[in-house]
Amino acid sequence: MKVITTIEEMQTIMNKLELQDKSIGFVPTMGFLHEGHLTLLNKARKDNDIIVLSIFVNPLQFGPKEDYAEYPRDFERDRALAESERVDFLFHPSVGEMYPNEPSVKVTVQDRTDVLCGKSRPGHFDGVATVITKLFNIIRPTRAYFGKKDAQQVAVLEGLVSDFNIPVELIPVDIVRENDGLAKSSRNVNLLPKERQEAPILYRSLQAAEAAIKQGERNPANLIGIISNMITNESTGTIDYVQIYTYPQLKPLEKLEGTIIIALAVKFTKVRLIDNYITNIDR
């Protein structure tokens, strides 16, 4: 595995591989790798000749009051994990390399952002779309892998790729969970021990909603009630949102039908967790 820190070297390497008609699987991350990321790498390895992992904690996608400084980082651990996952190239640029000066352009997301996490994180998806645009131009991957845990991110990036005609295939990959159901996340380490014990209620509430849908519930408000009650009663976290939308358009709906997402975010002392359930309901 080769660790690359400059854009120029990365582009030179990718250029050569492109001429050899190699398929490139790309997994962009902010590091502190967990099993969710490893699942993405495994999938990328199966589908492609070469895999590129990027580790870059992107300041542009953090709001001024968000956890950029506290975001967990452990490059040596990540490097060892990437090596053992047979990553070919690990792209690990500095902030100064990615943003040498105040950017003169950025990508702004016009749709799918005034709901869910976008609502409480103004500019977050602009930052995501901008860094992904840069990374796609640097890596020029054949396929790029994203976890469905950030379902809104996947929806936004599908819009980005389609509207900017970026020649890459986006591959959304299922959420990977701990044994107790908690969705894997680099931020989970910031849960207090008691909160860590409570946190699986997020997934259990989604499972309860799933069961209710199977029993015929089609009213979004009722499902939101079930979920909110469970989380409020069984955790010390504060609900940021529990919402149900069409997917990937993220438009409100009065009655469950078609492809829908039930998404939630809960704030704990030092960390805010998200989870979701996407399903298709016969019309």
Q: Provide the β-strand partners of residue 277.
A: 262
Q: What is the residue-wise DSSP string for 205-268?
A: HHHHHHHHHHTT---HHHHHHHHHHHHHHH-S-EEEEEEEEETTT--B-SS--EEEEEEEEEE-
Annotated active-site residue 92? The verdict is no
Given the residues 34, 37, 92, 124, the one annotated as active site: 37
Alpha-carbon 204 to chain mean position: 21
Q: Which stretch binds a second copy (CB under 8 A): 23-31, 74-82, 145-153, 160-168?
A: 160-168
Q: How many residues bind a second copy (CB under 8 A)?
A: 32
Contacting a second copy within 97-136 (CB under 8 A): 102-112, 129, 133-134
Nearer to a second copy, 32 or 136 (CB): 136
Strands in 238-246's sheet, in edge-to-edge order, are 238-246, 258-267, 272-281
Asked if 159 interacts with a second copy (CB under 8 A), we say yes
Segment 174 to 203, residues that bind a second copy, using CB under 8 A: none
Task: State the amino acid at position 211 in one-letter form.
Answer: A
- Cα maximum dimension of the chain: 58
Question: Which of 58, 186 has the CB closer to a second copy?
Answer: 58
Nearest-approach distance from CB 71 to a second copy, in angstroms: 23
* x-marked contacts with a second copy along 14-53 as a string, rule CB under 8 A: -x--xx-x--------------------------------
Contact status: 140 vs a second copy (CB under 8 A):
yes
Query: By three-state DSSP, how is residue 114 classified?
Result: coil
CB 239 within 8 A of CB 231: yes
Q: Does 156 bind a second copy (CB under 8 A)?
A: yes
Q: Which helix (H) or strand (E) is 156 found in, with range?
A: helix 151-163
Could you say whether residue 233 binds a second copy (CB under 8 A)?
no
Residues that bind a second copy (CB under 8 A): 7, 11, 15, 18-19, 21, 102-112, 129, 133-134, 137-138, 140, 156, 159-160, 162-167
Active site residues: 37
